[in-house]
Copies of this chain bind each other. A is one copy, B any other.
Amino acid sequence: MQEEIFELIEGKKYARLRELLSDMNPADIAQILEDVEERELPVIFRILPKELAAEVFVEMDSEMQQLLIEAFSDTELREVMDELFMDDTVDIIDEMPATVAKRILAQTDAKTRKMINQLLAYPDDSAGSIMTTEYVDLKKHMTVDMAFDRIRAVGLDTEAIYTCYVIDASRHLLGIVTVKDLLLNQKDCVISNIMDENVIYANTLDDKEEVAGQFEKYDLMALPVVDKENRLVGVVTVDDAIDVIQEEATEDIEKMAAILPSDKTYFRTSVFSTFKARIPWLLLLMISATFTGAIISGFEEKLTVFPALIAFIPMLMDTGGNSGSQSSVTIIRGISLGDIEFSDIFRVLWKETRVAFLCSIVLAGVNFIKLILMDYLLLHTFDAGKQIPEIAVVCLTLFCTVIVAKIIGCSLPILAKKVGFDPAVMASPFITTIVDAISLFIYFNIAIVFLGI
């Protein structure tokens, strides 16, 4: 398929190309156009049927959109913009440099321009920033038949026609009616009798992640958005909610790996941007490791007496770090999904303590057996008086470290959330650095007591 298209482009067989592309899905066409040479792009774009061209345009990434806009005449630009839904137009303008954004706005009429500027003003993470302003509104005295007429009248220009919103004269939201309700009722039935007044809605400034969570919880197709005065101003559709869910998951994962989140895909991010997203945490964590180093330095002389202890440092640090990450990551995800709140902190602590106890018993036990066996099998000379105390120190440290790591791992994200920080930042790398220092501190103090050094 892709090969055929490239051959048609090369051979300039545009009639056949138009025919072929017309049957394809906009998302697929946009993907193919990514691999087309820049100077060919406007030519191919111009042969697409107008409506399809606009749909393809929406699916492109912002660099390609900018390239096309710069190649468009004003008339062409207006034609594409006329076909776009309001929320897509706003997204595109948001991504463009100021001069390009200005040119786009110049091609829209005054009313649209006012609407776009309003939408652009909503904060990036708000429900207002992802809503569309095109929807079907009904009045409560309408009949089912009148409602269908209204849907037909506005239908072509809206994304979601299957949920209609019943409003009063000052645009307050009174209820919703689905097309299913309309189909299953008589034509002369009055809307106020069939509308559902128990509406789930969001405010323009609500967090978009919470709004996406509502779609998941209530299996919604669309969610109305109201302003401070409870007037209907827009609708969030399920496809935008899915995008938010994926973006938020990616963001959480990036933060958990000590990366500053970006909203571009891997290959679209430049090397320098990737570097900038990764270096701050690497630097901070590297410098934090100074404390761990200081703990070792303070114990340096004693370590030269029992050099065998040095070999266990990586194992103790890693196991502690892994135990802590397991807890922190589980809790961070639970917070994201709305399963865990601050009031659950004692339930979480109690559960993690019990899990930690089981884990540390098993880890310390297995480690004890492994060390005895290894010493016995490898060294052949087993000096119980010398080796048993060393092994005991290692296993006891392991036991304590795992418990401390899990308790820190589960409580830090919840506390972070409470004081308004992002819990995801409290994940593996951060926990690891803290747990490293603590585990070495425990290790050396247990060694001092048990080995009498």
Contact = CB atoms under 8 A, between A and B. Distances in A.
Interface of A: 23-25, 27, 148, 151-152, 155-156, 161-162, 179-180, 183-184, 198, 200, 215-219, 221, 238-239, 241-243, 245-246, 249-250, 252-254, 256-259, 265-267, 271-272, 274-275, 278-279, 281-283, 285-287, 289-290, 292-294, 296-297, 300-301, 303-304, 307-308, 310-315, 317-319, 321-323, 325-326, 328-331, 333-334, 337, 339-340, 344, 347-348, 351, 354-355, 358-359, 362-363, 366-367, 370, 398, 402, 428-429, 432-433, 436, 440
Given A319-B286, A358-B279, A310 B303 contact: yes
A326 B261 CA distance: 11
A253 B286 contact: no
Contact of A322 (B218, B281, B310, B370): B281
B326 A278 contact: yes
Given A155-B184, A362-B279, A25 B257 contact: no
Contact of A286 (B242, B275, B367): B367
A315 B317 CA distance: 11
A300 B311 CA distance: 8
A162 B178 CA distance: 10
Contacts of A155: 180, 183-184
Contact of A257 (B275, B283, B402, B428): B428
Of A148, A348, A429, most buried by chain B (CB within 10 Å of CB) is A429
Nearest to A366: B283
B318 A283 contact: no
B271 A351 contact: yes
Report how many copies the assembly holds. 2
A330 B366 contact: no
A27 B314 CA distance: 48
A258 B289 CA distance: 23
A283 B398 CA distance: 12
Contact of A279 (B24, B334, B359): B359
Given A274-B355, A290-B315, 4 more contacts: A245-B245, A246-B337, A254-B329, A266-B339
Contact of A152 (B183, B258, B315): B183
Given A152-B184, A155-B184, A27 B275 contact: no
A294 B313 CA distance: 11
16 contacts: A25-B198, A241-B242, A245-B249, A256-B256, A257-B428, A271-B351, A275-B358, A282-B363, A283-B363, A285-B319, A286-B398, A287-B370, A292-B314, A293-B312, A300-B311, A310-B313
B333 A250 contact: yes
Given A274-B351, A321-B432, A310 B296 contact: yes
A337 B265 contact: yes
Contacts of A330: 254, 257, 259, 266, 274
A311 B267 CA distance: 38
B297 A337 contact: no
A161 B403 CA distance: 53
Contact of A282 (B334, B339, B359): B359
Shortest 8 CB-CB distances between A and B: which pairs? A289-B315, A257-B329, A249-B249, A219-B239, A292-B314, A293-B311, A275-B358, A296-B311
A230 B342 CA distance: 51
Given A246-B216, A317-B314, A275 B359 contact: yes
A267 B347 contact: yes
Contacts of A259: 326, 329-330
A328 B282 CA distance: 15
Nearest to A271: B354
Given A238-B221, A278-B359, A339-B267, A429 B313 contact: no
A437 to B, nearest CB: 8
A290 B315 CA distance: 7
A322 B265 CA distance: 21
Given A245-B242, A310-B303, A326 B286 contact: no
